[in-house]
Each structure stands twice: as C-alpha cells, then as structure tokens.
Amino acid sequence: MRDHLETWSQHLKYGRDVSPHTLKNYRSDIEDFITFLEVDYFAAGEGQGVKPGAVDTPAVIAWLGHLNMRGSAGSTISRKLSALRGFFRFLRRQGVIDSDPARVVTQRRKRRKLMPHLTEIEIGEFLRAPDPGKPTGLRDRAILELLYATGIRVGELVALDVEDLDSRARLVRVLGKGSKERIVPLGQPAVLAVAEYLEAREGKKATAGKRAMFLNNRGGRLTDRSVRRLIKKYVDQLALNHDLSPHAIRHSFASHLLSRGADLRVIQELLGHVSLSTTQKYIHTSMSQLKDVYDKAHPRA
C-alpha cells in the first residue's frame, strides 16, 4: 500500500495542485492507517506490507474505533476518513481494487462549535499591540493590519511579494488555495502600516528569491509558523482567549463585515471560498442583529 500511497501523493501534488500542508496531512493520515493495519489489525508487523485488496470495511471501522480510543478529536477523525476515502477512490479508478471499503463508512457528526473571533474593540487593541519603536514592531503591526483588512489566510500572507500590493488603488493580489488568484481591497490604515514597514526596512539585505513583503531577521521570507508565533505572542500579551488561532482574525473580518451590512456572497469572494456554506461557518451574527435586520427588511415584520 505504501507504493500506491506514493503514486496517490504525486497525483494530488501535480494533478490536483493540493497545497503542501494538505498533502503532508493526507500522507500522514494514510501512513497512520497502514501502520494500524500492519501492527494491530493484521498483526503482521510494521513494514511487512498490506495489499489494498486485503482491506475491507470492518478494517476501516476498526481503525476509526482505534482513533477514538486514542483520544483523537472528531474533526481529526473526519479529516482522516476523508483522506482514506480519497485514497481508495483513486485506487479503484486505477483498477487496483474492485470495491471501495471506505465508501459506506461514516463518521458521526458532532455539533459544530462557533469559531472563536474578536470583537471590534478587541481587534482595535490587538492591532495596537505591536511596539513601533522596536525593530520588529512595524513589521508585526503591518502583518496584523493586513490580515484584518483583507481576511487572507496566514499562508497567503507569507507568500505575498511587494509587487502584489497596489497602494494607490488599495488592492492586493492574493494567490489562494489551488493557485487561484483573487484581488482583495484593503483600508488606508493597512496601506500606511505596510508602507511604513517597507520604508523602515529599506537597505536591509533580502535573501528571499523574490521581493518578499515580510522578512525575518535574516532577510529571508517570513514563514507561516513565525506569523503564528507572533500572533500568539500578542494574544498572550493582551490576555485574550488563549484558544484563539490566527484564523480568528479571518473569522473576525467576515463577522464584522456581515454585521455592518455586507452581502454574504461578497464576503465569500473576499475570503476566496468556492462554496457559500464554507463562508457561513465564519459568520457570527447575534440574535439581536438577526432580529434587527428582519424588522427592517420584512414587509410584515
């Protein structure tokens, strides 16, 4: 199965243009399943090899039970099952197996929790947290301002080059998932914060291949992990909800736009979502806001 995993990985990378992060997770999920089969289900010993045709639906169900016993989160199990389905669909299309053992297996859905986000007041405090008097303060402020102004993902942010920003038109070109390009507007505070940072870093040697917008202390392109660390630093500094992830800024961007009257499909376009249902997960609308909109809009409210 490991040989087929390598073939599937190449298909995802070059045929489906899956992001490196997603590809890494999918490979890890299938490797975990194969190890379970070798060590626990068939007890043949790790590395002994299991043929795809030997895997049946009970083996998949047993793996899900193993993950539950291991304490894996429901969202993690769902992702792993999704990866496994994709793997077996590929094997069936390639004629490696006659039937898909994961096709009829489902993961019981749990009630979806609201994604954490910041209020407008908290966002204001958050954006003011970096110290512009420190070497990295201007950069960090520009990063936070740009994330909130555009709602872009952290991975999209670190991929930005200086040429992607049109300061005069207040637009930024973003390369999203699946290499899909979109143009996102941004406000004047974000434009000024980025301009101030770029002016301050003039003369700093850039080792990044392209003119990366955000650099680390060595002059290389800032990484996704570094941005996540600096965001956590300011979350801790302000004693905000410690469960907040970098995505909380993206969630806040969408929620604040909706609460101020933005159309949901416009928000979908700004976030770069293919499906409107994905956008709806980012929205936090209070019952009072819903009633207010209803009272104003419905002819017999």
Nearest to 70 by CA among 118, 36, 103: 36
The residue that leads in pLDDT, 258 or 150, is: 150
Each residue of 68-89: pLDDT tens digit? 888 888 888 888 999 999 999 9
Same domain (yes/no): 190, 243: yes
Q: Considering 79, 89, 92, 247, which one is annotated as catalytic?
A: 247
Quote the tokens at residue 270.
Answer: 């700004």
The residue that leads in pLDDT, 244 or 237, is: 237
Same domain (yes/no): 172, 246: yes
Each residue of 159-192: pLDDT tens digit? 999 999 999 999 999 988 777 889 999 999 999 9
Is 66 labeled as catalytic in the residue annotation?
Answer: no
Q: Does residue 114 fall inside a structural domain?
A: no
What CATH code is carried by the domain that includes residue 24? 1.10.150.130
Same domain (yes/no): 241, 282: yes
Confidence category of residue 119, pLDDT binned at 50, 70, 90: confident
Q: Considering 4, 153, 251, 256, which one is annotated as catalytic?
A: 153
Q: Does residue 113 fall inside a structural domain?
A: no
Is 273 labeled as catalytic in the residue annotation?
Answer: yes
Same domain (yes/no): 175, 88: no
Same domain (yes/no): 159, 255: yes
The residue that leads in pLDDT, 216 or 135, is: 216
Mean residue pLDDT of the chain comes to 83
Locus of tokens 């416009």: 266
Is 11 labeled as catalytic in the residue annotation?
Answer: no
**Where among 74, 93, 112 does a domain terminate?**
93
Whether residue 153 is predicted with pLDDT greater than 60 in this model: the reply is yes
Is 153 labeled as catalytic in the residue annotation?
Answer: yes
- Looking at residue 252, its pLDDT comes to 86
Quote the tokens at residue 23.
Answer: 């590809």
Q: Does residue 269 fall inside a structural domain?
A: yes
Q: Does residue 200 fall inside a structural domain?
A: yes
Q: Does residue 142 fall inside a structural domain?
A: yes
Q: Which range of residues forms the domain containing residue 262?
A: 120-293
Q: Considering 11, 85, 92, 177, which one is annotated as catalytic?
A: 177
17: left (phi over 0), alpha (psi -120 to 50) or beta: left
Tell me what the mean pLDDT of segment 125-140 comes to.
90
Is 85 labeled as catalytic in the residue annotation?
Answer: no
Tell me what the mean pLDDT of segment 10-39 comes to.
88
Task: Look at 34-38, 59-63, 208-212 and tell me which has the smallest mean pLDDT.
Answer: 208-212
Same domain (yes/no): 86, 137: no
Q: Does residue 103 fall inside a structural domain?
A: no
Nearest to 46 by CA among 68, 28, 31: 31
Tell me what the mean pLDDT of segment 15-27 comes to.
86
Q: What is the pTM of this model?
A: 0.61
pLDDT exceeding 90 applies to what percent of the chain?
36
Same domain (yes/no): 185, 271: yes
Same domain (yes/no): 277, 148: yes
Same domain (yes/no): 270, 171: yes
Is 177 labeled as catalytic in the residue annotation?
Answer: yes
Same domain (yes/no): 125, 32: no
> How many domains does one find in the chain?
2
Q: Considering 117, 250, 251, 256, which one is annotated as catalytic?
A: 250
What CATH code is carried by the domain that includes residue 168? 1.10.443.10
